[in-house]
Amino acid sequence: MNLENVRIGNRKLSDVLLLVGSTVAVVATVTPLTDMLVRAWTAEGVGRTVVRFVVGATPLTLESAVVFPLGIGAGLLAVFALDRTKFVQALLLAAAAGPLLATVWYNGLWFGGRIDWVANAPWGAAGLLVGALIGAADKAVAALTGHDALGVGRREFPLAAGALFAAAVGFAVVGFLDATLSGTPSAATAVVDLAVSVAFVGFVGFLIQYRDRRDVAVLSPNRSAETLVVCGLFAHVDDRYRTVVSAGEAELNRLSSNLAAGRTVPAATDEIAFNVHAGGWFDNWTSVSTSGYANRHLLDEQVARAAESTDGGRGSLLAHRVRRAVTRETPLTFVDRLLTFDVVLLAVPLDREPIRRAFDPAVDDDDVGAAAFLDRYRRFVEATRGRDPTVVVVATGGETALTYFESVYGGTTIDSPELRTEVAHRLGLLCSGLGEDAPFPETPVVVSRSEATAVDDGLAGADRLWRAVRDA
Is the CB of residue 206 less than 8 Å from the CB of residue 25?
A: no
Helix (H, G, I), strand (E, B) or coil at 145: helix
Output the CA torsion sign for 327, 328, 331, 335: positive
pLDDT confidence tier of residue 147, bands split at 50, 70 and 90? very low
Backbone dihedral angles phi then psi of residue 326, each to the nearest 5 degrees: -70, -45
pTM of the model as a whole? 0.65
In which band, very low, low, confident or very high, does the pLDDT at 330 lie, cut at 50, 70 and 90? Answer: very low
Least Cα distance to 265 among 253, 280, 248 occurs for 253
CATH topology of domain 213-471: Rossmann fold (3.40.50)
Tens-place pLDDT, residues 239-267: 788 787 878 788 888 888 888 877 888 87
Angle among Cα 447, 450, 453 to the nearest 5 degrees reads: 85
SS3 state at 114: coil
Whether residue 472 contacts residue 343, with contact meaning beta carbons closer than 8 Å, is answered with: yes
Q: What is the pLDDT of residues 353-389, one digit of tens each?
A: 777 877 887 776 555 544 555 666 666 666 665 556 7
Query: CATH 3.40.50 occupies which residues in the chain?
Result: 213-471
Give CA angle at 256 (251, 257), nearest 5°: 100
- Local structure of residue 461 (DSSP, 8 states): T
Over pLDDT 70: what percentage of the chain?
A: 72
pLDDT, tens digit (0-9, with 9 covering 90-100), for 2-54: 445 555 555 666 677 777 788 888 888 888 888 888 888 888 788 888 888 88
274 DSSP β-pair partners: 245, 288
- Least Cα distance to 310 among 300, 320, 321 occurs for 320
Taking the C-alpha atoms of residue 368 and residue 364, their distance in angstroms, rounded to an integer, is 7
